[in-house]
Structure 1
Amino acid sequence: MTNQPRAEYPRPQFVRDSWINLNGEWEFEFDDDRVGSKEKWHLGNRKLYKTIQVPFAFQSKLSGIGSNEFHDVVWYRRDLTLPDDFQNKRILLHFGAVDYEASVWVNGVLVAKHEGGHTPFHADITDALQAGTNKLVVKAVDYSKDVTLPRGKQYWHTDSASIFYTRTTGIWQTVWMEAVSNDGYLDKVKITPDIDEKQVEFQFFIQGSDSNAKQQMKVEISFNGELVSEDTYGMRSSSGARKIRLNDFNDHGLGAWWTPEHPNLYDVTFTLLVDNKAVDVVTSYFGMRKVSIEDGKLCLNNRPYFLKMVLDQGYFPDGNLTPPSDEAIKEDVELTKAMGFNGARKHQKLEDPRFLYWCDKLGLVVWSEAANAYEYTEKYVSRFTNEWIASIDRDYNHPSIIAWVPLNESWGVPNIQIDKLQQQHALTMYHLTKSLDPMRPVVSNDGWELVKTDLFTIHDYEWREGVLEERYSSSDKAVHAMPANRRLFVEGFPYEGQPILVTEFGGIAYKKSEWEGWGYSGADNDEDFEKKLRAVIRPLLNSGVVQGYCYTQLTDVEQEINGLLTYDRKPKIPVEIIKAINDRK
């Protein structure tokens, strides 16, 4: 295969040395008549007559196809040849994300079926492999016009419009393989920091080991290259937990707590030993940090922390949902920080793990938000719940994530104000999230019509400075406002003193490229844009009631020109000016 785009390691918080990237050119074909299964394309004997650059969806330019037409059944095919160091090992095949349903065959053997357009899956393909060349086939099925599907910003019409963008069908995150030992391997580690007790807890999950064998887990933790803890202990089953005390930090700015200003990370190496032999080595990292709400204040590491976030849609001009490169991901984080923001609200998208890696490493807090459906059905509930559980499982360990947002603006629950079923669904998502992760706050329905929630979040695109000053002069005025002509809380779930944040505002349209589009208000030139930015940000900084904000938005996206950057990531005014505004200067 030629040309392997997106060749960086795809799972940076759980790294093994023995792996192969499968991105690049694959055979590809649309199956509009749905004959592929009947004609047994999954056997891999039939050539597919188009080519595509994986991991880019066919709707994107970088895929080499770039079509907006509806093709809801697509097939992929490529050959696999294992390198020498993969021999006599178990082989795991990974998919970062396939939208929406995926079936995977190796040499005609079905090795995986998966539902969920944003979540990863993998399969042990060892028993399906043969000597020499192997045939890998993937069938992806999308439901482009189904508005009950968890879809995020993907539009169900041919062309983008309003707040909706180009669809994504099929593979859109990295495909890769890794080799693990036949004697057992580490499937997952759940990492929970506790700065109050000065300790970190590791929960280990092992696959493929002999229950009669002697199992041990060795944990080595280092900071800035210096070993701070080393521990080896027995594992009597396929799972276990260990708490390790860390004594090398304190609360005087001298220690190793993680913040956006000081993104301190510990490195950790996990070694699985079976009968005293090292059979698996995984490297990872973690951050010691705490998110809490104390006396109505949102706190980071036990101190009030004012959030200055930007709404980030995670779309790119040529890749759509798929970033063109790891450098492009890093650049978005660097530009966000350069403009004086300390966080990003990823909007309607479970972002590539590489984005979270750079947020962890460079220092940017993240609100992780699900890709929502648009209408409510029982089938939607099942699909969405399963995908949300998988999302939390994938990203639990990232220190940058400080809040979970399962629902946004009543998407998927449009009648939540009066429909008890939809209210119960939102409540369920809140409590389900808390049951999976008790250490982060949860927003039940970001923007308006909130049920039980840890943070009281408001979407407000008012552009007049005086109106914003008055509206956010007291908690009572803020929570009883109706900036989108929507009640901010559902009847029966009144405001209970939660921290108040304005998590969408601004959206000032300013045309600085060839793109035509719209925004929530407009600016005529650089000076006018700066003036209007100050007019919407200043009242929130000075409020005394508002504990954080999220400006709409980081970049222009397709028909929207309300970004601080153009779609190709060029600042509309100098980033230093935007930083000065965020810094009250």
Structure 2
Amino acid sequence: MTRRASSRRWPFLAFATAAVLVATTAPTAATAAPQPDADTGWTKGTPPLSTPWTDDVSPTNALPEYPRPQLTRSSWQNLNGVWEFAGAAAGEAPPVGEQLAEQVLVPYPIESALSGIQRHEDRMWYRRTFTVPERWQVGRGQRLVLHFGAVDYDSKVWVNGHQVATHRGGYDGFDADVTDALRPGGQQELIVWAEDLTDATFQPIGKQRRVGDRGIFYQGSSGIWQTVWMEPVSATGAIDSLNLTPDLGDKSLRLRANPTSGAEGLTVEAVAYDGHKAVARVSGPAGTDLTIPIAKPKLWSPDSPFLYDLRVRLFDGRKRVDEVGSYFGMREIGTAKGADGKLRMTLNGKILFHMSTLDQGFWPDGLNTAPTDEALRFDLEQHKVLGFNTVRKHIKVEPSRWYYWADRLGLMVWQDMPATKPGRPTVEWQRQWESELGEMIREHAAHPSIVVWVPFNEGWGEWDRGATGRIADSVKQQDPTRLVNAHSGVNCCDSLGDSGRGDIIDHHQYLGPASPLPTAGRVAVDGEHGGMGLEVDGHMWFGEGGAYWMAPDSETLTRRYVENQRDLLRIANTCGVSAGVYTQITDVEHEVNGFFTYDRRVEKMDFDQVRAVNEAVIRSADGTGANVPPPPPGTPGLTGVGYWPLDENAGDTANDEAGNNDGRLVAGPTWTAGKTGSGLLFNGSNQYVDTGRTILDTTASYSTSAWVRLDSAGGAFQTVVSQDGASNSAFYLQYSGADRRFAMSFAGVRALAPTTPVAGQWYHLVGVRDAATGQLRLYVDGQLAGQASACLGDGSTGPLVIGRGKFGGNPVDYLDGTIDQVHVYDRALSAAEVTALYESGK
């Protein structure tokens, strides 16, 4: 019988408004209506944008390459292609012997145009038949293993009505020995059930959402999205996986060939090759650590990504029962102090700056799945064209062939763990996330390109700062050969704060770059910056796009990129930053901040200029060129270069008793009783004091102080003193509504007080920017209350203002309360001076 397609369907990217729906479903250019395939009946969908590889995809060539380059066998069969498909209901029995009504092209996720389904289903059935080649001898000395590269998210597998596998996890592979479920000869029936609730649960999803959001989250991918294949293995035993760990100090490769169950007593022989020449060999018991000596090793690096080939055989006595091919690279990632004494990242013992992009890995035609292997390789090749040596794979895990191309092309990889949706997951989901993190490391640890593991990003799905530190330690224990970035963007967003663990301090700052400082035990990196955008008509997912800053044309975008990277070089040499991650390699849906449009058809910058500045940063960002002059001594005394006692008690001017920078009262703040004498009361909506002058050099050291009494201490930001920059305030002495605490801040960096202030109570605040130590410090009532690393200060040419801030080009964060006795200083006050200032104002 025929199973009807599910009626629980909705249009691809069905958003709230008809206007958006039209923008997302209409093709960019007129194309002929898709025609059903004559042999299978499958019809390719029409993506909102097509890539240069969209038309290359057909039922006969859906990702035909062997999917596991580090464990290859000569006998295998690809099961990609057209399968039957139907939506499913919870608890439904498998459709054994039933024909399903629709056709889907595996392994493209069902929401994608390339799948031919182009809609979401919470639950789904896949069905096909296959025949086992007679030459394989399955059942006569061989077993048949069925492999799934990845199925999102929960899955079950039946062969001939027998359930052979259950798996949870959308980014890792699984397999099953299906021999005992096979019929004797002829066609075999394969059925897969998948459930993907995406952001309705706390399953790891990265950037996926059931529908995109015109922001930083994108259309989700459900069901089978990586290659399905089968291969015969010996019934005596087989090699299940390989652990490959280079050791430059010992000039060797540590190898463990992990056998299938029951084959632990067999013997392994491994031979390493330089081209066709055998250079080393070792033999020993399967499942034990063996050492392959590599005399005069050729090292792997971005400039010379040399890979040794490897042949591993499994023997039962003298009988060979299995043979696999693989490869490895000899390289070592670590840290060392540079000439300036700051800790930096090293490759093969030498300091090397990690020049990286943020790579999301989404495609307008295949969503989570690249249309072809050539397309998968393209993004990585373009990293090399643009002068990058690193790619941060952002909260997504790719098919093994992506890492193969990074290995071959010579790109260092920071591998993120896919995040859950923001919020605190339940204990069950916490355990599941940790399990998937461990599996991600296990599956990909042999790739020489991967140099950094990143468990958390900006606090998404983080549930406890102590747990974050414990997880970083467990990752390091599982893989001590790589660096651990416990929390990328620890200064941002949903972060619960720095656990102090791992090898890396990672700040995000848009437009940036960020300027954290390394410590004696952890290097500092800019984990995300940039995000500068350009719209290209006819090449946008929504027909319009957004970014952190929009350029009017390619020339302007290129110029700003070059300026931004020169700032990165200055930060690297001045602050000791070891890496910069620019957002991003391609546009993705609403985000138009890529070097390429989302369809990979348009280069949005002058690539020659991009490459030149990137190579200059890599070449020079090691601290040897740093020549940072000491900050000037500044003006002595506690009066400062600007002092507004606010004792006028009348009029529309606040007199500056230290300089010639009288403040103009804007929108009528009212005179009221101050801490001593009078003060100014602000309404929290539009009132402030404008000095009309750029008083502080915010690239150097400075301090600011005031007495403040809040009328409310809720979730709104409130600024006490700031100075306008081009887009944001150069600094904010403020109440942070996000934290409900006082802070001395830069955009993206906050030195926070430990407790929430009480509305109606007077507090003395001092914010210090210390250029010599690269710190922001906050003092409350004469005592140090918080500090943060901020090596460089933002320049500003706008006026110093009292009672508001500036962000994104707009006035924001108006104070709701009273201010008195405002000082600004052209130097960093000492702790003793802060105490004296507090005592003098009481």
The question of a shared fold, defined as TM-score above 0.5 by the shorter chain, is answered with yes
Given residue 118 of structure 2, which amino acid in structure 1 is its aligned partner?
G
Corresponding residue for 1:332?
Answer: 379
CA contact (8 A) 2:152 2:169 kept: yes
Question: Out of 223, 229, 232, which is 2:274 matched to?
Answer: 223
Given residue 405 of structure 1, which amino acid in structure 2 is its aligned partner?
V
- Post-superposition shift, 1:209? 4.6
Corresponding residue for 2:441?
Answer: 392
Given residue 27 of structure 1, which amino acid in structure 2 is its aligned partner?
E
Distance 1:34 1:187 in 2: 34
Query: Do residues 579 (structure 1) and 630 (structure 2) align?
Result: no
Going from structure 1 to structure 2, the CA distance change for 1:4 and 1:527 (only over 3 Å counts) comes to closer
CA contact (8 A) 2:558 2:606 kept: no
Corresponding residue for 1:523?
Answer: 551
Secondary structure (helix, strand or coil) at the match of 1:387 reads: helix
Considering Cα pairs closer than 8 Å and 6+ residues apart, tell me whether 1 or 2 has the greater RCO: 1
Corresponding residue for 2:75?
Answer: 18
Distance 1:278 1:321 in 2: 39
Distance 1:193 1:497 in 2: 24
Secondary structure (helix, strand or coil) at the match of 2:560 reads: helix
Corresponding residue for 1:146?
Answer: 200
Query: Do residues 240 (structure 1) and 288 (structure 2) align?
Result: yes
Corresponding residue for 1:412?
Answer: 461
TM-score, length of structure 1 as denominator length: 0.88
- Tell me the alpha carbon deviations over residues 400-448 of structure 1, each in whole angstroms, 9 at most, x when there is no partner: 00000011000002xxxxxxx6112212220111111001011111012
Secondary structure (helix, strand or coil) at the match of 2:291 reads: strand
Equivalent residues in 2 for 1:487-566, closer than 5 Å: 496-514=520-538, 515=540, 516-543=544-571, 544=573, 545-566=576-597
Given residue 542 of structure 1, which amino acid in structure 2 is its aligned partner?
R
Distance 2:91 2:455 in 1: 37
CA contact (8 A) 1:183 1:208 kept: no
- Post-superposition shift, 1:208? 4.9
Question: Out of 350, 355, 365, which is 2:412 matched to?
Answer: 365
Corresponding residue for 2:431?
Answer: 382
Equivalent residues in 2 for 1:81-100, closer than 5 Å: 81-88=131-138, 89-100=142-153
Question: Out of 190, 206, 216, which is 1:136 matched to?
Answer: 190
Query: Do residues 350 (structure 1) and 397 (structure 2) align?
Result: yes
Question: Out of 222, 245, 249, which is 1:169 matched to?
Answer: 222
Distance 2:376 2:123 in 1: 29
Distance 2:287 2:108 in 1: 36
Greater shift in the superposed pair: 305-314 or 199-208: 199-208
Corresponding residue for 2:710?
Answer: none
Distance 1:349 1:429 in 2: 18
CA contact (8 A) 1:14 1:282 kept: yes
- Post-superposition shift, 1:210? 5.8
Greater shift in the superposed pair: 75-84 or 447-456: 447-456
Which structure has the greater CA radius of gyration? 2
Distance 1:74 1:28 in 2: 7
CA contact (8 A) 1:513 1:566 kept: no
CA contact (8 A) 2:388 2:615 kept: no
Corresponding residue for 2:711?
Answer: none
Secondary structure (helix, strand or coil) at the match of 1:584 reads: helix
- Tell me the alpha carbon deviations over residues 5-46 of structure 1, each in whole angstroms, 9 at most, x when there is no partner: 001010011100111100000000012x43632xx42xx211
Equivalent residues in 2 for 1:248-287, closer than 5 Å: 248-249=296-297, 256-287=298-329
Distance 2:311 2:478 in 1: 25
Corresponding residue for 2:488?
Answer: 446
Total equivalences in the alignment: 534
Secondary structure (helix, strand or coil) at the match of 1:335 reads: helix
- Post-superposition shift, 1:574? 3.2
Greater shift in the superposed pair: 563-572 or 421-430: 421-430
CA contact (8 A) 2:198 2:220 kept: yes
Corresponding residue for 1:491?
Answer: none
Distance 2:109 2:228 in 1: 13
Corresponding residue for 1:181?
Answer: 234
Distance 1:573 1:520 in 2: 17
Given residue 556 of structure 2, which amino acid in structure 1 is its aligned partner?
D
- Tell me the alpha carbon deviations over residues 454-493 of structure 1, each in whole angstroms, 9 at most, x when there is no partner: 1111111135xxxx6xx74xxxxx35xxxxxxxxxxxxxx
Distance 1:524 1:326 in 2: 34
Question: Out of 507, 511, 518, which is 1:458 matched to?
Answer: 507
Given residue 430 of structure 1, which amino acid in structure 2 is its aligned partner?
A
Given residue 502 of structure 1, which amino acid in structure 2 is its aligned partner?
D
Distance 1:182 1:128 in 2: 15
Consecutive unaligned residues of structure 1, counting only runs of 5 or more, are 250-255, 414-420, 473-477, 480-493
Distance 1:142 1:400 in 2: 31
Distance 2:440 2:148 in 1: 14
CA contact (8 A) 1:265 1:285 kept: yes
- Post-superposition shift, 1:503? 1.3
Distance 1:525 1:502 in 2: 26
Identity over aligned residues, as a percent?
37
Consecutive unaligned residues of structure 2, counting only runs of 5 or more, are 1-39, 41-58, 338-342, 491-496, 618-842
Distance 2:276 2:548 in 1: 48
Secondary structure (helix, strand or coil) at the match of 1:173 reads: coil
Question: Out of 411, 425, 448, which is 2:467 matched to?
Answer: 425
Secondary structure (helix, strand or coil) at the match of 2:484 reads: coil
Corresponding residue for 1:64?
Answer: 116
CA contact (8 A) 1:91 1:178 kept: yes
TM-align CA RMSD = 1.7
Secondary structure (helix, strand or coil) at the match of 2:165 reads: strand
Query: Do residues 315 (structure 1) and 357 (structure 2) align?
Result: no
CA contact (8 A) 2:281 2:292 kept: no
Distance 1:521 1:147 in 2: 33
- Post-superposition shift, 1:272? 0.7
CA contact (8 A) 1:11 1:353 kept: yes
Secondary structure (helix, strand or coil) at the match of 2:464 reads: helix
Secondary structure (helix, strand or coil) at the match of 1:152 reads: coil
CA contact (8 A) 1:367 1:401 kept: yes
Distance 1:262 1:268 in 2: 19
Given residue 557 of structure 2, which amino acid in structure 1 is its aligned partner?
F
CA contact (8 A) 1:4 1:25 kept: no
Going from structure 1 to structure 2, the CA distance change for 1:178 and 1:523 (only over 3 Å counts) comes to same
- Post-superposition shift, 1:495? 5.4
Equivalent residues in 2 for 1:209-220, closer than 5 Å: 209=262, 215-220=266-271
Distance 2:133 2:440 in 1: 32
Query: Do residues 199 (structure 1) and 252 (structure 2) align?
Result: yes
CA contact (8 A) 2:503 2:521 kept: no
Given residue 278 of structure 1, which amino acid in structure 2 is its aligned partner?
R
Corresponding residue for 2:85?
Answer: 28
CA contact (8 A) 2:199 2:205 kept: no
Given residue 226 of structure 1, which amino acid in structure 2 is its aligned partner?
K
Secondary structure (helix, strand or coil) at the match of 1:91 reads: strand
